[in-house]
Amino acid sequence: MPRLSQQLHPPREPAPARAAATVLLLRDTELGMEVLMTRRSATASFAPGAYVFPGGRVDEEDTDTRRIALRRRTQPRVQLTHAIAAVREAFEELGVLLAEHADGRPVSAAEVAAMDRSTPPAVPFAQQCAQRGLRLATDRVFAFAHWITDRDLPKRFDVLFLVARMPPGQTPQADESEQFEPSWVRPADALERHAAGRFDIIFPTIRTLQRLATFPNVHAVLEACASERPLWSSCPRAGLLKGEEARYMEHESPYGELALVCPDGQIGHALDWQHEVPVPLLHNVQRLTAPNGSVMTGPGTNSYLVGDRDSGYIVIDPGPNDFDHIGRLWRATQGDIRAIVCTHSHADHSPGALPLQALCERRPPILGLPSAPTARPTARFTPDRALADGESLKLEGGPADDGSGQRIAHTLRVLHTPGHAANHLCVVLEEDGLLFSGDHILNGSTTVIDPPDGNMSDYLESLDRLDEACAAFHVEHILPAHGYVLGAARTAIARLKAHRLQREAKIAAAMRKKPSGTPQDWLEMAYADTPRHLWPVAARSLEAHIERILVRASEPAPQPSSFAPE
Region for 284 from its dihedrals, namely left if φ exceeds 0, alpha if ψ lies in -120 to 50, beta otherwise? alpha
> Is 235:146 a contact under the CB 8 Å cutoff?
no
Q: Who has greater pLDDT, 304 or 155?
A: 304
The DSSP result for 180-242, as a single string, is: EEEEEE-HHHHHHHHHTTSS---HHHHHHHHHHTT-SSHHHHHHHTTTSS-S-EE--EEEEET
pLDDT at 20: 97
> Is 411:394 a contact under the CB 8 Å cutoff?
yes
pLDDT at 403: 66
> Is 304:434 a contact under the CB 8 Å cutoff?
no
Q: What share of the chain is helix, strand, coil (3-state, %, to 5)?
A: 30, 25, 45
Q: Give percent above pLDDT 70 in the chain.
A: 98
Residue 419, SS3? coil
Residue 144, SS3? strand
Contacting residues for 302 by C-beta, under 8 A, at least 6 apart: 287, 288, 289, 290, 317, 479, 480, 481, 482, 483
What is the DSSP-derived secondary structure letter of residue 543? H
pLDDT at 512: 96
Per-residue pLDDT tens digits for 97-121: 999 999 999 999 999 999 999 888 8
* 422-458: burial string, b at 16+ Cβ within 10 Å, e else: bbbbbbbbbbbbbbbbbbbbbbebbbbbbbebbbbeb
439 has a pLDDT exceeding 90: yes
Per-residue pLDDT tens digits for 536-557: 999 999 999 999 999 998 877 6
The amino acid that residue 262 corresponds to is C
With 0-12 CB in 10 A as exposed, 13-18 as middle and 19+ as buried, what is 539? Answer: middle
Cα dist from 191 to 143, 211, 217, whole Å: 22, 11, 17
Q: Stretch 196-223: mean pLDDT, rounded?
A: 96
> Is 116:122 a contact under the CB 8 Å cutoff?
yes
The amino acid that residue 213 corresponds to is A
564 has a pLDDT exceeding 60: no
Q: Give percent above pLDDT 90 in the chain.
A: 88
Residue 324, SS3? helix
Cα–Cα distance measured from residue 459 to residue 554, given in angstroms and rounded to the nearest whole number: 20
Give the range among 135-139, 369-373, 393-397, 562-566 with minimum mean pLDDT. 562-566
> Is 48:40 a contact under the CB 8 Å cutoff?
yes
What is the set of domains in the chain, with CATH numbers? 17-235 (3.90.79.10), 292-488 (3.60.15.10), 499-554 (no CATH)
pLDDT at 177: 81
pLDDT at 558: 63
Cα–Cα distance measured from residue 466 to residue 489, given in angstroms and rounded to the nearest whole number: 9
217 has a pLDDT exceeding 50: yes
68 has a pLDDT exceeding 80: yes
Residues comprising the chain, all counted: 566
Contacting residues for 552 by C-beta, under 8 A, at least 6 apart: none
Cα–Cα distance measured from residue 100 to residue 165, given in angstroms and rounded to the nearest whole number: 14
* 278-292: burial string, b at 16+ Cβ within 10 Å, e else: bbebbbbbbbbbbbb
pLDDT at 44: 79
**pTM to 2 decimal places:** 0.92
Cα–Cα distance measured from residue 149 to residue 153, given in angstroms and rounded to the nearest whole number: 7
Residue 140, SS3? helix
566: pLDDT confidence band, cut at 50, 70 and 90?
Answer: very low
Q: Who has greater pLDDT, 176 or 299?
A: 299
561 has a pLDDT exceeding 60: no
> Is 355:339 a contact under the CB 8 Å cutoff?
no
Backbone φ, ψ for residue 510 (5° rounding): -65, -40
Q: Stretch 390-418: mean pLDDT, rounded?
A: 89
Per-residue pLDDT tens digits for 344-392: 999 999 999 999 999 999 999 999 999 999 999 989 999 999 999 999 9
The amino acid that residue 227 corresponds to is S
The C-alpha torsion from 440 through 441 and 444 to 447, rounded to 10°, is 30
Region for 391 from its dihedrals, namely left if φ exceeds 0, alpha if ψ lies in -120 to 50, beta otherwise? beta
Residue 459 CA to chain centroid, in angstroms? 23
404 has a pLDDT exceeding 80: no
pLDDT, averaged across the chain: 94
Give the number of other Cβ atoms within 10 Å of residue 513's Cβ: 11
180: pLDDT confidence band, cut at 50, 70 and 90?
Answer: confident
